Amino acid sequence: QVQLVESGGGLAQPGGSLRLSCAASGDTLGDYTVGWFRQVPGKEREGVSCLSRVGGVTAYVDSVKGRFTVSRDNAKNMVYLEMNSLKPEDTAVYYCVADPRVICIPSTLKPGVVQYDYWGQGTQVTVSS
């Protein structure tokens, strides 16, 4: 079983950047597909990105393609989400996720398609001038 703790959220101006970090403990993160979801109050949770266990396969929701980059450092048991060119509509609570069985393909980012087993507590990202 893996525990996930996010950090790095905060306030950014439109066009700015933030880097989210996710520290994993309790298991080897290299055995998991990892990713990020986000949720705005009153709206459905949205898959943002995922990164496969092997091969470095990534997937992104269309709204963040070209702006966000997911990465991992298995030696440090860390996952990252680099967010650039931030927009007000990126404002949400961002959750780090992990699962040993989920396959990282774009369809798995759609709401309700898959359920990741492990979630962090979330970190707030607010994009506003």
Mean pLDDT of 10-35: 96
Alpha carbon distance 129, 119 (integer Å): 30
Distance CA 82, CA 96 (A): 13
- Convert the pLDDT of each residue in 108-127 to its tens digit: 998 888 889 999 999 999 99
Percent of the chain surpassing pLDDT 90: 88
pLDDT higher than threshold 90 for residue 86: yes
Q: For residue 46, give both structure tokens.
A: 């949205």
- Give the 3-state secondary structure percentages of the chain, helix then strand then coil, rounded to 5: 10, 45, 45
Instruction: Tell me the mean pLDDT in the region 91-101.
Output: 97
pLDDT the model gives residue 50: 97
Coil/strand/helix, residue 45 = coil
